[in-house]
Amino acid sequence: MSRKSRDHNRVYTLCSVCIAFVLCALLAACATVPLTERKSLRLIPSSELLSLSDQQYATVLGESKLSTDRQKVQMVTRVGKRIASAAEEFLRESGAEDRIKNYQWEFNVIEDDKTVNAWCMPGGKVAVYTGILPYTRNETGLAVVVGHEVAHAIAEHGNERMSQALLAQLGGVALSVALKEQPAATQQIYMAAYGVTANVAALLPYSRLHENEADRIGLTLMAKAGYNPNEAVRFWQAMSEQGGSRPPTFL
């Protein structure tokens, strides 16, 4: 065998090993979504996301006008606590009781009638915009929204979406490295991944699957919390009339 052939074989072997290593790493990073049993990619450690969540949640609240409407705030808190309790019960039943400790629930109402949105960051950091309340109409309708958003958190869709975005846009670097080297871009990806901003163009190819999973889990949470899941039909009809067709998130 010639030297050139031996070198070629070494390169081929090295590439094969590298590819195998990457595939093994990706497989090791896969996790199962509760209820649907779908395998999803989660490259980011929960501890890093929880830390970033605390920072970004505080930033959003600091830059927003929080509602002083006592009735609205109490309703969101009341519904939120019931959904949170149902979520923890759901995690226990799904064999993920160890994840409950990661949730330090917070529920805030942002005074913004033009924004029809709600979201839940890792650790149970929830925000509901007043712009969505005309469509929820009542507590049960609000439970549709909160249950749906908490379902995204339970399924760890944000981790999956951020993992995909870091691979596609930042070369698959670790979150800590991305935050150090490209903080603005990384924070933008984070905010989009959790539905805080409307800039989700890079993430839309994955959102339909996530929305369907959040629907299924969210309805389960509603039922466990003592709300009528059938109210979801009325709510989504109202949202469709508002936007022409059901949006991938509450845009």
User: pLDDT tens-digit profile of 116-131?
Assistant: 999 999 999 999 999 9
Please state, in angstroms and rounded to a whole number, the distance separating the CA atoms of residues 215 and 145. Answer: 10
pTM of the model as a whole = 0.78
Q: Residue 30 pLDDT > 80, yes or no?
A: no
Three-state SS sequence of the chain: CCHHHHHHHHHHHHHHHHHHHHHHHHHHCEEECCCCCCEEECCCCHHHHHHHHHHHHHHHHHHCCECCCHHHHHHHHHHHHHHHHHHHHHHHHCCCHHHHHHCCCEEEEECCCCCCCEEEECCCEEEEEHHHHHHHCCHHHHHHHHHHHHHHHHCCHHHHHHHHHHHHHCCCCCHHHHHHHCHHHHHHHHHHHCCCCCCCCCCHHHHHHHHHHHHHHHHHHHHHCCCCCCHHHHHHHHHHHHHCCCCCCCC
Residue 182 burial class via C-beta count within 10 angstroms: exposed 0-12, middle 13-18, buried 19 and up? middle
What percent of the chain has a predicted confidence (pLDDT) above 70?
73
Of residues 186 and 201, more confidence is placed in 186
Of residues 170 and 60, more confidence is placed in 60
pLDDT (0 to 100) of residue 172: 59
Mean pLDDT of 2-26: 41
Q: Residue 249 pLDDT > 50, yes or no?
A: no
Token pair 């969540």: residue: 53
> 17 pLDDT band (50/70/90 cuts)?
very low
Pairing of β 106-110 and β 125-129: parallel
Please state, in angstroms and rounded to a whole number, the distance separating the CA atoms of residues 23 and 46. Answer: 21
The least confident of 11-25, 120-134, 235-249 is 11-25
The least confident of 12-21, 79-88, 199-208 is 12-21
Chain segment 149-170, per-residue pLDDT in tens:
999 999 998 888 888 777 766 5
> 246 pLDDT band (50/70/90 cuts)?
very low
Mean pLDDT of 68-79: 98
Please state, in angstroms and rounded to a whole number, the distance separating the CA atoms of residues 161 and 215. Answer: 17
Q: Of 120, 106, 33, which Cα lies nearest the Cα of 73? A: 106
Of residues 159 and 221, more confidence is placed in 221
Six-digit token pair at 157?
A: 């869709």
Q: Residue 187 pLDDT > 90, yes or no?
A: no
